[in-house]
Amino acid sequence: MIEMVNVYKKYPNGIVAANGIDVEIKQGEFVYVVGPSGAGKSTFIKMMYREERPTSGDIFINGINLATLKPSKVPYLRRQIGVVFQDFKLLPRLNVYENIAFALEVIEETPKVIRKRVMDVLELVGLKHKARMFPTELSGGEQQRVSIARSIVNTPKLVIADEPTGNLDPDTSWEIMNIFEEINSRGTTIIMATHNREIVNTIRHRVIAVEGGLITRDEYGGDYGYES
């Protein structure tokens, strides 16, 4: 489902954040991306949803080559990928229901379909009873649940999460991980950049370590492997 071939990324300031990355990730995998700060983890995953473009090399997502994808087709690609951020990125003026429904309204789903899908994902993340509340009225963990619900409401085959537990306390982080596990068990591929050693060492999955813009380790069931 994801293939990178000799991907190189140099930012305009001269920093090389990807220095010849080759990787293949299959449908249904759960992959942690680990590595020290500044290693190139975010760049690696941002290139998968075309938030950043490689300077050279090819990136295929479900057979679509992002290197040659026309800008007009980028919204189509993004609809196939759910993205979850460390800082949630919810729209403050919209309530929980509206934050999630938004993704479906832009693709002009019918009100009936929207209602059903939003309530289904709210049920999955355990927040049906808070559908009318606003982001500021929610805890960090609840906001992250909303952002996960939003990321899957389009039923994407791939969910990319950049440090989704980075702003959460340990107990809440485990709850959030349980939701990702549930989503993965339904067949959705999960790519997660994380600094959370305990989680990586406890809920074992494939571990891709990035350092200096290179994949330095790629191990199924591997451990976190860093001190911090």
Ligand X SMILES: Nc1ncnc2c1ncn2[C@@H]1O[C@H](COP(=O)(O)OP(=O)(O)OP(=O)(O)O)[C@@H](O)[C@H]1O
Residue 42 or 147 with smaller CB distance to ligand X:
42
CB of 200 vs ligand X, minimal distance in Å: 14
CB of 163 vs ligand X, minimal distance in Å: 7
Question: Is 105:150 a contact under the CB 8 Å cutoff?
Answer: no
Neighbouring residues of 107: CB distance < 8 A, sequence distance ≥ 6: 79, 154
CB of 42 vs ligand X, minimal distance in Å: 3
Nearest CA to 46 out of 205, 209, 193 is that of 193
Amino acid at 14: G
Nearest CA to 193 out of 60, 47, 45 is that of 45
Residue 44 or 180 with smaller CB distance to ligand X:
44
Residue 40 or 135 with smaller CB distance to ligand X:
40
Question: Residue 58: enclosing H or E segment and its boundaries?
Answer: strand 56-61
> Which chain residues interact with ligand X by CB under 6 A?
11, 13, 15, 17, 35, 37-43
Residues 80, 196, 4, 85, Cα dihedral to 10° = 30
Residue 39 or 101 with smaller CB distance to ligand X:
39
CB of 206 vs ligand X, minimal distance in Å: 18
Residue 28 or 57 with smaller CB distance to ligand X:
57
CB of 215 vs ligand X, minimal distance in Å: 12
